[in-house]
Amino acid sequence: MTKKYHSFYAKKRTFKSTLVEKAVKYFFFLNGMISVLFLVLIFLFLFREAFSAISNIGINEFFKNVEWYPTSEDSRYSIIPLILGTLLTAIPATIISSFLGIILGIYLSEIASGRTREIIKPFIEIFAGLPTVVIGFLILAVGSTFFQELFNAGTRLNALLAAFGLSIILIPTISSLTEDALRAVPNNLRMASYALGISKFAMIKNVVIPAAISGVSAGIILGFGRAIGETMIVLMASGNAAELTLNLLHSVRTITATIAGELGEVAIGSPHYYSLFFIGTFLLIITFIINLISELIIERMRKKLKKMN
Amino acid sequence: MENRFKGNIKKENSSNSIIDNLLIGGIRIISFSVIIIFILILGKIFYEGIGVINWNFLTGIPKSDISKGGIGPAIFGTMAVSIIMLILAVPVGIFSAIYISEFAKDTFWLRLIRASVNSLAGVPSIVIGLFGFGFFVLFIGKSIDNILQTGMLFGQPAIIWASATLAVLVLPTIIVTTTEALNSIPLTFRQASLGLGASKWQTIRYIILPQARPGILTGVILALSRSIGETAPIMFLGCAFFLPNLPLAYLDLSFVQIPIINPADQFMHLAYHIFILATQSSNPTLTAPFQYGTTLVLVLITLLLNLTAIIFRFRFRKIIEVVNRNQ
């Protein structure tokens, strides 16, 4: 990626101009290091507070029992129902949006005409930038009653409703990553399969998708990571009861919604305060690993496609 | 890539081709349904919200009964936070991108910076909010108070800390888009400039940055739109539901008083306002038009910003294409 034009620079003449150029370079370098600094600070800071939580409450407390009651007399800090709640919203959301997003990506890359794509693509891009609080509001205002009648759910706000809200923001992410992956497949593969007399759908299914499978799966993993980290939609639509349940129609409480809902009222320096940092650190590590995996997959795909070309 | 072969091979006497066309049709139908759902979502907000919007609504002060009054302070607060966020994030982001694109050789440092930017982009916004609360408010803010003896002025959630946290959040967006813009400037421009005897800094300042301006602006606008839509990180960083007074301070120059944004004040914010209206309202049917109106304002702002960014990017790509063709 980096351009090799350095050798074209003229030899520097005077001591003063060399000094100025050096200073300019170090100025830009220091600015570049600010991202590194903040990433390190985020990790250091969250880990420090998480360790306070472990020394205050004990690591066992977070995984031993199955209740999250940080404000009651006999306070309990189990992260288990929160993890369960996060998965119960994120997994259905990823399944729904992978199905629809991949189909939309295939349509945009392989089927739609150039002009249709030029209209639809910016529209989807705009939708990816819609504030999540807007989706949360609509789910609350319109979706909740509609889905309650549709699924005959006991509680108006539940995990499935949050999953539907999440898929609205995940579909644009997954569809554009799928489209990128499919468009990166060399065109001569398509030509060759047509020449062999294969039909269009069979070509998509047997040639294009297998060639782009790593890019598509990276999109799904990235979407899952986004679903885990999303706050506003689950805070507004999931009902926020820290129940231990596997029923999608029950209300659940996610890690993100717990932090968002409780940090405002917590006493600073209390075990409850530190426990919020502990679950935040947990979330940070999980999303970090997920992003790393998807990046490795994309990197591998790039190398593979380079070889093909 | 563009002139890809898309036609279908005609096959005669084959039941396969019928099933095939059905499946392709299925992909079309599902895709269109998704797009129609998206259009319906936007349409619903426009349809319900457009009736509420008028001058009084946009500039008025909220009343204690939230079905009356306006959202003026929320719009003002959103702008105040965003402006300070841009002041903090844009220079750092552009300078980082200049380092990545123009100075760095493929060394350890470049790879470290690249990896950090990517990782920072993937950190969930709520975790950045948590960091902002712990680091900016409780650590930096409290330290400033201790040194300046200002009591509890900075050691509490305020505009400046919300802006700083959002700046950390959007920094990767600015860096990535600006690096792309700088990288797309043809190498020959740099060679020509250097060949004429310009120094590296002169080349960047007078050749590369002016050429990349639309691309850089795209990144800034995208960052702005993202920060306006973020609710989770600012919820505990000084956002208030009801503040009749604007967060202003007056710069006293004896003959005239200039109002400036008070960075140590609390603020109202559009996105947070929507959240509170939707979740804490005692009578949802009565306040529904008001909620849709507020949502429509936020949606219009982000749509307009995103559209501008898309147009800028389109024009930038056209310029680069023309430049490359003429070489």
SS (H, E, C) chain A: CCCCCHHHCCCCCCHHHHHHHHHHHHHHHHHHHHHHHHHHHHHHHHHHHHHHHHHHHCHHHHHCCCCEECCCCCCEECCHHHHHHHHHHHHHHHHHHHHHHHHHHHHHHHHCCHHHHHHHHHHHHHHHCCCHHHHHHHHHHHHHHHHHHHHCCCCCCCHHHHHHHHHHHHHHHHHHHHHHHHHCCCHHHHHHHHHCCCCHHHHHHHHHHHHHHHHHHHHHHHHHHHHHHCCHHHHHHCECCCCCCCCCCCCECCHHHHHHHHCCCCCCCCHHHHHHHHHHHHHHHHHHHHHHHHHHHHHHHHHHHHHHC
Q: Can you say whether residue B192 is alpha, beta or left, with left for phi > 0 and alpha for psi between -120 and 50 degrees?
A: alpha
Amino acid identity, position A305: L
Q: Which CATH number belongs to the domain containing residue B269 in this structure?
A: 1.10.3720.10
Q: Classify residue B43: in a domain, yes or no.
A: no
Can you list the pairs that B200-203 forms with residues at least 24 positions away whose Cβ atoms lie under 8 Å?
Answer: B200/A9, B200/A21, B200/A24, B200/B102, B201/A20, B201/A21, B201/A24
Please name the residues in contact with B229: beta carbons below 8 A apart, sequence gap of 6 or more: A129, A130, A131, A132, A133, A134, B271, B298, B302
Give the nearest partner residue to A280 out of B127, B172, B271, using CB atoms. B127
Task: Report how many Cβ contacts below 8 Å link chain A to chain B.
Answer: 278
Residue with tokens 């008083």: B257
Please name the residues in contact with B17: beta carbons below 8 A apart, sequence gap of 6 or more: A199, B11
- The domain total for chain B is 1
Amino acid identity, position A57: I
DSSP 8-state secondary structure symbol assigned to residue B290 = H
pLDDT value of residue A10:
47
pLDDT by residue (tens digit) across B132-158? 998 998 888 888 888 887 777 777 888
- State whether B124 and A229 contact (CB < 8 Å): yes
Q: In whole numbers, what is the pLDDT of chain B averaged over residues?
A: 84
Which tokens belong to B7?
Answer: 């036609």
- Residues in A touching B295 (Cβ below 8 Å): 134, 137-138
Q: How far is CA B88 from CA A40, A54, A129, B84, B141, in A?
A: 19, 35, 22, 6, 16
Scan residues 9-48 of A and list those with Cβ closer than 8 Å to B: 9-10, 17, 20-21, 24-25, 27-29, 31-36, 38-39, 41-42, 45-46
pLDDT by residue (tens digit) across B222-256? 999 999 988 888 888 888 777 777 777 776 677 77
pLDDT by residue (tens digit) across B68-125? 677 888 888 899 999 999 999 999 999 999 999 988 887 888 889 998 999 999 899 9
Give the nearest partner residue to B99 out of A32, A190, A201, using CB atoms. A32
For chain A, residues with pLDDT lower than 70 are 1-15, 73, 153-154, 309
- State whether B271 and A131 contact (CB < 8 Å): yes
Element (H, E) at B205: none
pLDDT value of residue A97:
95
**Helix (DSSP H) and strand (DSSP E) numbers for chain B:** 12, 2
Q: Which chain A residue shows the shortest CA-CA distance from B285?
A: A141
Interface contact A132, partner B, CB < 8 A: yes
- State whether B187 and A5 contact (CB < 8 Å): yes
- Tell me which residue range forms the domain holding B190: 72-325
Answer yes or no: are the C-beta atoms of B102 and A25 closer than 8 Å.
Answer: no
- Residues in B touching A147 (Cβ below 8 Å): none
Interface contact A151, partner B, CB < 8 A: no
pLDDT value of residue A33:
92
Which tokens belong to B185?
Answer: 């400037």
Answer yes or no: are the C-beta atoms of A277 and A49 closer than 8 Å.
Answer: yes
Q: How far is CA B257 from CA A247, B245, B266, in A?
A: 61, 17, 21
Most distant pair of Cα atoms in chain A: their distance = 80
State the pLDDT confidence band at B168, using cuts at 50, 70 and 90. Answer: very high
Q: Classify residue B146: in a domain, yes or no.
A: yes
DSSP 8-state secondary structure symbol assigned to residue B179 = H
Residue B259, strand partner residues: B250
What is the bridge-based pairing of β-strands B248-252 and A76-77? unpaired
Residue A68, strand partner residues: A77
- State whether B231 and A107 contact (CB < 8 Å): no
End-to-end CA distance of chain B: 21
End-to-end CA distance of chain A: 17
CA separation for the pair A23, A33 (Å, rounded): 15
CA separation for the pair B183, B198 (Å, rounded): 19
CA separation for the pair B5, A110 (Å, rounded): 10
CA separation for the pair A228, B63 (Å, rounded): 37
DSSP 8-state secondary structure symbol assigned to residue B232 = G
Packing angle, helices A159-183 and A114-128, rounded to 10: 140
The ipTM of this complex is 0.87
Distance from the A175 Cα atom to the nearest Cα atom in chain B, whole angstroms: 10
What average pLDDT does this structure show over B14-21? Answer: 73
Packing angle, helices A114-128 and B15-49, rounded to 10: 40
Which tokens belong to B99?
Answer: 């380092």
Residue A29, Cβ density class (10 Å: 0-12 exposed, 13-18 middle, ≥19 buried): middle
B164, pLDDT greater than 90: yes
State the pLDDT confidence band at B8, using cuts at 50, 70 and 90. Answer: low
Residue with tokens 């220091």: A30
3-state DSSP assignment of residue B259: strand
Which tokens belong to A13?
Answer: 């003449």
Answer yes or no: are the C-beta atoms of A265 and A67 closer than 8 Å.
Answer: no
Answer yes or no: are the C-beta atoms of A223 and A97 closer than 8 Å.
Answer: yes
Answer yes or no: are the C-beta atoms of B273 and B291 closer than 8 Å.
Answer: no
State the pLDDT confidence band at B221, using cuts at 50, 70 and 90. Answer: very high
CATH level 3 topology of A69-308 = MetI-like fold (1.10.3720)
pLDDT value of residue A2:
47
Give the nearest partner residue to A107 out of B31, B284, B299, using CB atoms. B31
pLDDT value of residue B14:
54
pLDDT value of residue B177:
92
What average pLDDT does this structure show over B295-313? Answer: 90
pLDDT value of residue B90:
95
Residue A230: phi and psi, rounded to 5, are -70, 140
